[in-house]
Structure 1
């Protein structure tokens, strides 16, 4: 009974998503309320603890939810200024004559860069791919699958930040546990993309470039750790992959850029502004992030001195939530967006239009990004009671996470190391993001790993990678990609292909996880 009630909220969310066709924000709300009720009625948790743990979850979610808000604002500004159209026209000219390199440059390189800066690949890439002559099926599938291997470094490393906070380790240590997966998964994702475009023929042609993509991704992750800035791994990886693929095209004697096929409308858009001006919000953002992460005194001051801890519940084993408002990526996304008002000369009328559009777009994504943290934190602190020393867990059997972990340890034993990525896929499918997957399953995975004598942090990394691989099957992301090219309905066909890809990728990740199950730095 303990296990069934502990897992019930997760199953309920899954049922609401798959069978009741509810959106993630509604399903998450029901799941959070169900978790709170079960914690109070069965796991002997006071309303006070449920309320305070929910507040902690809300605060912990801010690095994700506010990035979503500020990213939507930035994208709306760029759309209003015509910058996105200019960027799309520019990208149309990249590697026009070689689909293999074009796919790797756009979907792995540029897709990773977009995700790392807070933009949304499933919204930006589909129109570009359609403009380049790809089918609607390929445009939706490639934009959802391409950057999966590097999802951990999306939104300026937000998943990594959440991972380090829940696991209570520094960012460098956290990043090192993701390294074993980066290169191999990037290579296999590249092959999967090429299969979507042209089956076995494209896999043969792109096998060597895919290896290079895997090595480049790994090198970028190592470089980011070396310079002590793992949160910008995605930026490094995206830029390096694009540059390396372009260099390989040059070596093969092919054109990297060709505008000869542009339409009259494309040429008209091309004259509206330079590509530097069009991408200026992203350029500014990258500069700000590099300054705040690569210059040690600034990084130390913003990350440690201005950590801005908030204590909602005090207890011997309860850490405060470190908000780090000035260091967080949403602050710099907002600042780069505000500066772009002047660069694009946004007038009052356009500004009002941008605000109205942003105001209508942000509520659901904001709540979807938040609610699963609330659910996860109620699970984490269920059973805690107020004592003379603060809030403590006096009986582990009253904690939902421990109950799930104990049952999993008995059932899966060391096989848990192999199934961890599949747990991540489940989490990614339910929540829609790798970050929310980490929030929901990190503590449970750590407890299970400790009971089994496995490497807790490597197991969480495996779960996180599974959450990233779920991008290709996330209903919300596939729907966003389809909506961007007016192809609603096509996502169901895409899902039948991407679910196989995601499960195969999880299998490969599971093998790595199982081989390295005792790996400790």
Structure 2
């Protein structure tokens, strides 16, 4: 199946489409693609130190790695299935396939390491990099961890451990457990009363989660099961409703305080977040 692997690269193609539209828009309006009139002395100094083609090496390497790990069936099979690196955590009801070598974060690290020989990477550069990393990374990592933890609490609330050590799902009526002990089931039952209006509200839940967490992934993790349960109750297409939640989360995350905080940290302008949020 040639099409299926492409679905994992939706963001790549969407980003490329946006760049193409912006390129054509500027061409139609006869505006320069690169406006050099806005460059100051510091920008010119940086430009003189490294060319655009050399600066693009990490991104090119990342795109090539992403395409290879998703488009080549043998590579995908090896990294996604054969090297799934499953782990179990305490009494967690299931096995977690970490797929460390397939994750985008690992590919980013590999692309960075591969690109290092093309840059002036001495001990001082590495020291500054690690210092900046230690200063910038904790807050977004902690925020993501908290929201994913909240999603797990919502999804697995009300589960009961029986005498054989098996976790029983309260939403499975055959287990004889009150399903309203599960937060997702309870919320889905309450909002199912909205009927056909519910799918209209789903994107706004994604907007809320994306704005608060700064991550489309967090919005998906928190509300996907909720949307599936509610959609099933009202007879709506759960795939479409869940997708609208993800779209809302993606749009909101662009302007979220967390994303602005990360961007300010990247350019070493910590403290301007309030000004950016207020004035743009």
* Residues 432, 477 of structure 1: 8 Å contact kept: yes
Alignment of 1:47-446 (within 5 A): 226=3, 228-243=5-20, 245-246=22-23, 255-257=32-34, 259=36, 262-263=39-40, 265-312=42-89, 319-387=94-162, 388=164, 390-393=166-169, 394-410=177-193, 412-446=194-228
Distance 1:454 1:306, change over 3 A: same
Aligned counterpart, 1:62: none
Distance 1:396 1:482, change over 3 A: same
Deviation for aligned residue 1:337: 1.3
Between Structure 1 and Structure 2, how many residues are aligned?
269
Deviations 1:314-356 (A, max 9, x none): 89xx553221111111111111112233221311122122112
Counterpart-to-counterpart distance in 1, 2:276 and 2:26: 32
Structure 2, unpaired ranges of 5+: 170-176
Aligned counterpart, 1:191: none
Q: CA RMSD, aligned part only?
A: 2.9
Structure with the bigger percentage of helix: 1
3-state SS, counterpart of residue 222 of structure 2: helix
* Residues 257, 273 of structure 2: 8 Å contact kept: no
Q: Looking at both structures, which has the greater relative contact order when contacts are Cα pairs under 8 Å and sequence separation is at least 6?
A: 1
Distance 1:491 1:264, change over 3 A: closer
Deviation for aligned residue 1:261: 6.8
Counterpart of 1:459 (choices 231, 241, 259) is 241
Deviation for aligned residue 1:226: 2.7
Deviation for aligned residue 1:269: 3.0
Instruction: Give the structure-1-normalised TM-score.
Output: 0.47
Counterpart-to-counterpart distance in 2, 1:264 and 1:493: 28
Deviations 1:262-305 (A, max 9, x none): 55554443322221111211111111111111112111221222
3-state SS, counterpart of residue 160 of structure 2: strand
Counterpart of 2:275 (choices 487, 490, 499) is 490
* Residues 203, 248 of structure 2: 8 Å contact kept: yes
Instruction: Give the structure-2-normalised TM-score.
Output: 0.83
Structure 1, unpaired ranges of 5+: 1-171, 173-224, 496-521
Distance 1:472 1:301, change over 3 A: closer
Deviation for aligned residue 1:231: 2.6
